[in-house]
Amino acid sequence: MKRLLLAAALAAVAIPAAAQDSYPDRPITIVVPFAAGGPTDTVTRLIAEPMSAELGQQIVVQNTAGAGGTLAAGEVAVAAPDGYTVLMHHIGMSTAPGLYASLPYDPLVDFKTIGLVTEVPMTIVGRKDFEPNTLQELSDYVKANADAVTYANAGVGAASQLCGLLFMQAVGAKVTEVPYQGTGPALTDLVGGQVDFMCDQTTNTTEQIKAGAIKAYAITSPERNPALPDLPTTAEGGLPDLDVSIWHGLYVPKDTPDEIVQKLTAALKTALADPTVNERFAELGTTTVSDDLSTPEAHTERLSSQIELWKGVFESAGVQPQ
């Protein structure tokens, strides 16, 4: 009997091992937790092509938007741990634990990290006919007209919501928030003049700013960005504490075999070294991370330190988890 049980246990181990060797032998899905056409989607589609070439398999990008990115994260947390369902997420993976009273997943327990992908600054932008012309004027205007002003974001847990929260705190005002499934559709409405202002990643806003379709007030990085050299930093505009950079990373469900994680990390590294990817990221004001950061170890370290950081920021600002 004991021998039979041992044989059964060995067989159970042998099947996944074979699957790991042949991985990937069918298309891989990367789940994007926001709407198509937004910054997370753009980053994902740019790296998907070289990753797919390296892995020798098709990569399908699937947009599962909702609940500020937490819906998709919850779904991937319980997906089959076979490497065929991968999550692309950003800083929201670290802010959600401080913003939601109960999340259906624990970012540090329910996933394995593959590696960091990008660092992306944000821009504070308004509809092109919005009265304020500078960050100082925007701050004053928002304070004086808080009841009438609308701010677009991608829901609680989104980068745009985080940046808006920090902006409202910095100026001491609370405006009406208009949530979208992602900042792709939110930006469309900003261009159309349906909302007043928002804060969004350069990946999404650079081309619209350059085309004059929206008004830009500031970039949320300590230095100006080469893609938008005329845009002042938040510090130059009088809000030195509004300094936020959005980082993206790839995740798989926690029981995914390490061999599969290694293959995905190797493919990610190939994508991040691709000159076409880097050229496009630079045009959009974004950078790929350095080679030492596109590893599971560096990614886990970033995730865990950022969870602590943002929990502390929210607690000291009196933000109540919902």
- Name the residues that contact ligand MLT, by CB under 6 A: 34-35, 38-41, 90, 92, 154, 158-160, 182-184
Residue placing its CB nearer to ligand MLT in the complex, 41 or 196? 41
Half-sphere exposure of 197 (CA within 13 A, CB side): 29
Question: Quick one: 90 or 299, whose CB is closer to ligand MLT?
Answer: 90
Whole-number minimum distance, CB 179 to ligand MLT, in Å? 10
Cβ 66 to ligand MLT, closest distance in Å? 12
CA neighbor of 92 nearest in space, from 183, 29, 172: 183
CB of 25 to ligand MLT, least distance (A): 30
DSSP code per residue over 148-201 = T-EEEES-TTSHHHHHHHHHHHHHT---EEEE-SSHHHHHHHHHTTSSSEEEEE
Between residues 45 and 254, which has the closer beta carbon with respect to ligand MLT? 45
Choose between 164 and 257: whose C-beta lies nearer to ligand MLT.
164
Between residues 160 and 286, which has the closer beta carbon with respect to ligand MLT? Answer: 160
CB of 14 to ligand MLT, least distance (A): 41
Cα–Cα dist 285/120, whole Å: 7
Q: How far is it, in rounded angstroms, from Cα 224 to Cα 271?
A: 26
Least Å from the CB of residue 297 to ligand MLT: 25
Cα–Cα separations (whole angstroms), residue 140 to 18, 136, 177, 221: 63, 6, 18, 21
